[in-house]
Every structure is written in C-alpha cells, then in structure tokens.
Amino acid sequence: MIKIYTVISCSSCKKAKEWMENHQLEYEEVNLLNDHMTREDFLKILSLTDDGTEEVISKRSRAYQRLNLDSESLSINELVRIFDENRTLLRRPLILDDCRLQVGYNEDDIRKFLPRDIRQVEMKAATENIKTFSQSIENNEQEAVV
C-alpha cells in the first residue's frame, strides 16, 4: 500500500494525491501534523532513504532553524524522537510503499509507483508517439524540398 505523508496547505502534496487519483492508485494519506505516527513509521521512512537523514529533513523549516540540528551526530532513537516532536522538520510529501521512497512531488519520479505492466504500456505508447512525430517531421522536410 502506498502512503503519502502530507500537510493540508502543501501544494506539492495536493499534486501527489491528485496524480494518484488520476492513475487510480489506492493510497493512505497520513497528515504529518495531526495523525498518529508510530516509531515504526519514522523508522520505515528512514530505512528507505538513499542519502540518509538529510534527504527527508527540510532545512528551510522553522523547526530546523530553531533546533540547529546536526543530524549526523544524533542516534536513530534521538532522531525519531525529534521528528515526532517536530514533524515540520520532514519534507513533504513523503510518498512510500514497501520498498520505495519519494521525497517531494516530481511527475517523472512518481511514475515508479505505477504497476510495472502499466508503466510498460505507457512506455510503448510514448515510443509510438515519438515515432509518429519523427515521421511527420521527415515528411514535412521532404515536402519542403519538393
């Protein structure tokens, strides 16, 4: 199951949810500010990062400025506690399933949450569109020469 960690006022969160709905993907929305999150939720997010804790921390947040964090020197337990007490530290949306994490909304990257068979169909359609477009350009160039 896909989970999207959001806040209400976040435009990127709205785009991510809209994209999921447009592609008829089921997801569970977790409001970072209001919904209950367990230690395991935070650990799951951290376990899926490619670049460690820095990937999910919003350095522009007021909480980050106020806390003056050195996340590299914190233990995982301390970091989880700080995230739980200061959820605005987390970038958003955080989109994850059992094995993938996406931080923020990016229309190209979010496609990884589509089932493989749908991605293959879309890739085939895109390839056909490119071929048709290329042939159209060639035909126009040939007509211009004549």
Q: Specify the 3-state DSSP secondary structure of 90.
A: strand
Burial class (CB in 10 A: 0-12, 13-18, 19+), 124: exposed
- Residue pair 95/13 in contact (Cβ under 8 Å)? The answer is no
Task: Point out the catalytic residue in the list 2, 10, 37, 114.
Answer: 10
> Is 10 among the catalytic positions?
yes
Buried-state track 76-100, b at ≥16 Cβ within 10 A, e below 16: eeebbebbeebbebbbbbbbbeeee
Tokens representing 135?
Answer: 């042939």
Q: What residues are labeled active site?
A: 10
